[in-house]
Protein backbone atom coordinates (compact mmCIF):
# COMPACT_ATOMS: atom_id res chain seq x y z
CA UNK A 1 0.00 0.00 0.00
CA UNK A 2 2.90 2.39 0.73
CA UNK A 3 4.20 1.72 -2.79
CA UNK A 4 0.81 2.61 -4.27
CA UNK A 5 0.74 5.91 -2.35
CA UNK A 6 4.28 6.75 -3.49
CA UNK A 7 3.39 6.04 -7.12
CA UNK A 8 0.32 8.29 -6.90
CA UNK A 9 2.34 11.15 -5.39
CA UNK A 10 5.02 10.67 -8.07
CA UNK A 11 2.32 10.87 -10.77
CA UNK A 12 0.87 14.04 -9.26
CA UNK A 13 4.17 15.88 -9.22
CA UNK A 14 5.00 14.79 -12.78
CA UNK A 15 1.58 16.04 -13.87
CA UNK A 16 2.40 19.46 -12.42
CA UNK A 17 5.52 19.59 -14.60
CA UNK A 18 3.50 18.80 -17.73
CA UNK A 19 1.11 21.66 -16.97
CA UNK A 20 3.78 24.06 -15.74
CA UNK A 21 2.28 26.91 -17.78
CA UNK A 22 -0.69 26.88 -15.41
CA UNK A 23 -0.94 27.61 -11.70
CA UNK A 24 0.16 24.67 -9.57
CA UNK A 25 -0.76 24.37 -5.87
CA UNK A 26 -0.18 21.71 -3.25
CA UNK A 27 -1.59 21.67 0.25
CA UNK A 28 -3.26 19.94 3.14
CA UNK A 29 -6.89 19.50 4.14
CA UNK A 30 -8.30 18.79 7.60
CA UNK A 31 -11.87 17.46 7.71
CA UNK A 32 -14.56 16.55 10.20
CA UNK A 33 -16.68 13.79 8.64
CA UNK A 34 -20.14 12.43 9.32
CA UNK A 35 -20.75 9.14 7.51
CA UNK A 36 -23.66 6.72 7.47
CA UNK A 37 -24.78 3.81 5.36
CA UNK A 38 -28.08 3.21 3.62
CA UNK A 39 -29.24 -0.33 4.38
CA UNK A 40 -32.31 -1.51 2.49
CA UNK A 41 -33.64 -4.92 1.56
CA UNK A 42 -35.56 -4.92 -1.75
CA UNK A 43 -36.60 -8.56 -1.68
CA UNK A 44 -37.92 -8.33 1.89
CA UNK A 45 -38.79 -4.58 1.86
CA UNK A 46 -37.48 -2.97 5.01
CA UNK A 47 -35.26 -0.13 6.13
CA UNK A 48 -32.56 -1.05 8.62
CA UNK A 49 -31.96 1.87 10.96
CA UNK A 50 -28.46 3.19 11.62
CA UNK A 51 -26.93 6.33 13.11
CA UNK A 52 -24.03 8.43 11.85
CA UNK A 53 -20.37 7.75 12.56
CA UNK A 54 -18.10 10.77 13.18
CA UNK A 55 -14.36 11.05 12.62
CA UNK A 56 -11.52 13.31 11.43
CA UNK A 57 -9.36 12.91 8.34
CA UNK A 58 -6.35 14.62 6.74
CA UNK A 59 -5.65 14.87 3.02
CA UNK A 60 -2.81 15.74 0.68
CA UNK A 61 -3.97 17.93 -2.24
CA UNK A 62 -2.53 19.01 -5.58
CA UNK A 63 -4.39 21.37 -7.92
CA UNK A 64 -3.62 22.56 -11.45
CA UNK A 65 -5.56 25.70 -12.38
CA UNK A 66 -5.59 27.71 -15.62
CA UNK A 67 -5.87 31.47 -16.02
CA UNK A 68 -9.66 31.21 -16.31
CA UNK A 69 -9.87 29.90 -12.73
CA UNK A 70 -10.84 26.34 -13.62
CA UNK A 71 -8.73 23.27 -13.02
CA UNK A 72 -8.27 19.75 -11.71
CA UNK A 73 -7.80 18.78 -8.08
CA UNK A 74 -6.60 15.40 -6.81
CA UNK A 75 -6.74 14.44 -3.13
CA UNK A 76 -5.31 11.51 -1.19
CA UNK A 77 -6.53 10.72 2.31
CA UNK A 78 -7.05 7.98 4.85
CA UNK A 79 -10.75 8.26 5.68
CA UNK A 80 -12.73 6.29 8.26
CA UNK A 81 -16.37 5.57 7.42
CA UNK A 82 -18.94 3.65 9.41
CA UNK A 83 -22.28 3.46 11.12
CA UNK A 84 -23.77 2.97 14.59
CA UNK A 85 -26.51 0.43 15.24
CA UNK A 86 -28.52 -0.62 18.25
CA UNK A 87 -28.62 -4.44 18.25
CA UNK A 88 -30.55 -6.03 21.12
CA UNK A 89 -29.77 -3.03 23.34
CA UNK A 90 -26.08 -3.17 22.35
CA UNK A 91 -24.74 -0.01 20.72
CA UNK A 92 -22.26 -1.23 18.09
CA UNK A 93 -20.02 0.99 15.96
CA UNK A 94 -18.85 -0.42 12.64
CA UNK A 95 -15.71 1.33 11.41
CA UNK A 96 -13.96 0.88 8.05
CA UNK A 97 -10.75 2.67 7.00
CA UNK A 98 -10.23 3.60 3.34
CA UNK A 99 -7.57 5.06 1.12
CA UNK A 100 -9.83 7.70 -0.48
CA UNK A 101 -8.88 9.47 -3.75
CA UNK A 102 -11.23 12.14 -5.22
CA UNK A 103 -10.45 13.55 -8.70
CA UNK A 104 -12.51 16.72 -9.19
CA UNK A 105 -12.93 19.63 -11.56
CA UNK A 106 -12.59 22.94 -9.72
CA UNK A 107 -13.88 26.39 -10.62
CA UNK A 108 -13.63 29.78 -8.88
CA UNK A 109 -15.75 32.96 -9.01
CA UNK A 110 -15.00 36.27 -7.32
CA UNK A 111 -12.42 39.00 -6.86
CA UNK A 112 -8.68 38.91 -6.15
CA UNK A 113 -9.04 38.43 -2.41
CA UNK A 114 -12.13 36.24 -1.98
CA UNK A 115 -13.63 33.66 -4.28
CA UNK A 116 -16.46 31.14 -4.20
CA UNK A 117 -15.26 27.73 -5.37
CA UNK A 118 -17.02 24.57 -6.50
CA UNK A 119 -15.70 21.07 -7.07
CA UNK A 120 -17.32 18.06 -8.73
CA UNK A 121 -15.97 14.68 -9.75
CA UNK A 122 -15.59 10.98 -9.00
CA UNK A 123 -13.77 9.39 -6.09
CA UNK A 124 -12.23 5.96 -5.70
CA UNK A 125 -11.34 4.14 -2.50
CA UNK A 126 -9.81 0.93 -1.23
CA UNK A 127 -10.42 -0.60 2.18
CA UNK A 128 -7.40 -0.70 4.46
CA UNK A 129 -8.97 -2.21 7.59
CA UNK A 130 -12.22 -2.82 9.48
CA UNK A 131 -13.31 -3.76 12.99
CA UNK A 132 -15.61 -6.70 12.13
CA UNK A 133 -13.53 -9.17 14.13
CA UNK A 134 -14.00 -7.07 17.25
CA UNK A 135 -17.76 -6.76 16.68
CA UNK A 136 -18.16 -10.50 16.19
CA UNK A 137 -16.24 -11.14 19.40
CA UNK A 138 -18.83 -8.98 21.19
CA UNK A 139 -21.91 -10.52 19.51
CA UNK A 140 -21.29 -13.83 17.77
CA UNK A 141 -24.63 -13.86 15.93
CA UNK A 142 -24.32 -10.32 14.55
CA UNK A 143 -26.33 -10.22 11.30
CA UNK A 144 -24.88 -7.18 9.47
CA UNK A 145 -21.12 -6.70 9.35
CA UNK A 146 -18.31 -6.53 6.79
CA UNK A 147 -17.15 -9.98 5.70
CA UNK A 148 -13.63 -9.95 4.18
CA UNK A 149 -14.36 -13.04 2.07
CA UNK A 150 -17.76 -11.89 0.83
CA UNK A 151 -17.88 -8.13 0.54
CA UNK A 152 -16.36 -5.35 -1.56
CA UNK A 153 -13.09 -3.68 -0.61
CA UNK A 154 -13.12 -1.32 -3.59
CA UNK A 155 -15.53 1.61 -3.66
CA UNK A 156 -16.41 4.50 -5.94
CA UNK A 157 -18.86 7.36 -6.16
CA UNK A 158 -19.38 11.07 -6.71
CA UNK A 159 -18.04 13.98 -4.67
CA UNK A 160 -19.23 17.59 -4.72
CA UNK A 161 -17.90 20.53 -2.70
CA UNK A 162 -18.62 24.24 -2.28
CA UNK A 163 -16.97 26.90 -0.19
CA UNK A 164 -14.91 30.07 0.10
CA UNK A 165 -11.30 30.65 -0.91
CA UNK A 166 -9.21 33.49 0.54
CA UNK A 167 -6.01 34.80 -1.08
CA UNK A 168 -3.24 35.06 1.55
CA UNK A 169 -0.10 36.49 -0.05
CA UNK A 170 -0.51 34.30 -3.15
CA UNK A 171 -1.35 31.20 -1.08
CA UNK A 172 -4.94 30.20 -0.36
CA UNK A 173 -7.01 29.30 2.69
CA UNK A 174 -10.33 27.57 1.99
CA UNK A 175 -13.40 26.53 3.92
CA UNK A 176 -15.37 23.74 2.20
CA UNK A 177 -18.53 21.72 2.69
CA UNK A 178 -18.31 18.40 0.83
CA UNK A 179 -20.56 15.43 0.16
CA UNK A 180 -19.53 11.97 -1.04
CA UNK A 181 -22.04 9.38 -2.21
CA UNK A 182 -21.00 5.79 -2.90
CA UNK A 183 -22.52 4.11 -5.95
CA UNK A 184 -21.17 0.70 -4.92
CA UNK A 185 -22.74 -1.62 -2.36
CA UNK A 186 -20.52 -2.46 0.58
CA UNK A 187 -22.15 -5.86 1.17
CA UNK A 188 -21.98 -8.24 -1.79
CA UNK A 189 -25.16 -10.30 -1.48
CA UNK A 190 -25.04 -13.61 -3.36
CA UNK A 191 -28.45 -14.93 -2.28
CA UNK A 192 -31.52 -13.13 -0.97
CA UNK A 193 -31.75 -13.07 2.80
CA UNK A 194 -34.30 -11.23 4.97
CA UNK A 195 -31.55 -10.29 7.43
CA UNK A 196 -28.89 -9.04 4.98
CA UNK A 197 -29.61 -5.90 2.91
CA UNK A 198 -29.00 -5.96 -0.83
CA UNK A 199 -28.49 -2.17 -0.84
CA UNK A 200 -25.64 -0.86 1.33
CA UNK A 201 -24.04 2.37 0.16
CA UNK A 202 -22.21 5.05 2.16
CA UNK A 203 -22.85 8.78 2.22
CA UNK A 204 -20.42 11.19 3.88
CA UNK A 205 -20.79 14.87 4.77
CA UNK A 206 -17.58 16.80 5.57
CA UNK A 207 -16.57 20.21 6.87
CA UNK A 208 -13.00 21.04 5.82
CA UNK A 209 -10.23 23.58 6.12
CA UNK A 210 -7.67 23.70 3.29
CA UNK A 211 -4.36 25.50 2.94
CA UNK A 212 -2.82 25.58 -0.55
CA UNK A 213 0.75 26.65 -1.32
CA UNK A 214 0.87 28.31 -4.73
CA UNK A 215 4.01 27.78 -6.85
CA UNK A 216 3.07 30.52 -9.35
CA UNK A 217 3.93 33.75 -7.57
CA UNK A 218 2.76 35.77 -10.58
CA UNK A 219 -0.85 34.77 -10.03
CA UNK A 220 -3.17 37.67 -9.35
β-strand pairing of 199-214 with 23-41: antiparallel
Mean pLDDT of the region 46-67: 88
What is the pTM for the complete model shown?
Answer: 0.83
Query: What integer best gives the mean pLDDT of the chain?
Result: 83
Q: Name which residue leads in pLDDT, 67 or 107.
A: 107
* Total residues found in the chain within this entry: 220
- Cα 205 from chain centre: 9
The confidence score (pLDDT) of residue 220 equals 47
pLDDT tens per residue across span 160-212? 999 999 988 888 999 999 999 999 988 887 767 767 788 889 999 999 999 99
Are 144 and 195 within 8 A, CB to CB?
yes
pLDDT band at 138 (very low <50, low <70, confident <90, very high): low
Q: Which helix (H) or strand (E) holds 82?
A: strand 70-87
Are 76 and 99 within 8 A, CB to CB?
yes
Report domain extents, the chain: 2-163+176-214
Residue 214 vs residues 37, 118, 168, 177: alpha-carbon distances, Å: 37, 18, 10, 22
**Percent of the chain clearing pLDDT 90 (strictly above):** 46
Judged against a pLDDT cut of 70, whether residue 45 lies above it is answered with no
Q: Name which residue leads in pLDDT, 139 or 63.
A: 63
Q: Name which residue leads in pLDDT, 137 or 159.
A: 159
CATH 2.60.120 fits 2-163+176-214, yes or no: no
Nearest Cα neighbor of 112 from 65, 69, 175 is 69
pLDDT band at 98 (very low <50, low <70, confident <90, very high): very high
The confidence score (pLDDT) of residue 50 equals 86
Query: What's the number of CA atoms in the CB half-sphere (13 Å) around residue 84?
Result: 10
Most confident of the following: 18-27, 127-136, 153-162 = 153-162
What residues contact residue 15 under an 8 Å CB cut-off, 6+ apart? Answer: 62, 64
Max Cα distance, the chain (Å): 63
pLDDT tens per residue across span 142-160? 667 777 777 889 999 999 9
Nearest Cα neighbor of 70 from 21, 12, 119 is 119
Amino acid sequence: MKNIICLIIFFLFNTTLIYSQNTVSVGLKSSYNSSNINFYNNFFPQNIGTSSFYDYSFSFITEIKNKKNTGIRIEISKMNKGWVRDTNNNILTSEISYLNIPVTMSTYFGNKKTKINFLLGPFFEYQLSNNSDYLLSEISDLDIYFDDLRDNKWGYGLMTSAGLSFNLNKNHFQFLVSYQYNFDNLIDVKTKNPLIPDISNFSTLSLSFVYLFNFDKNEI
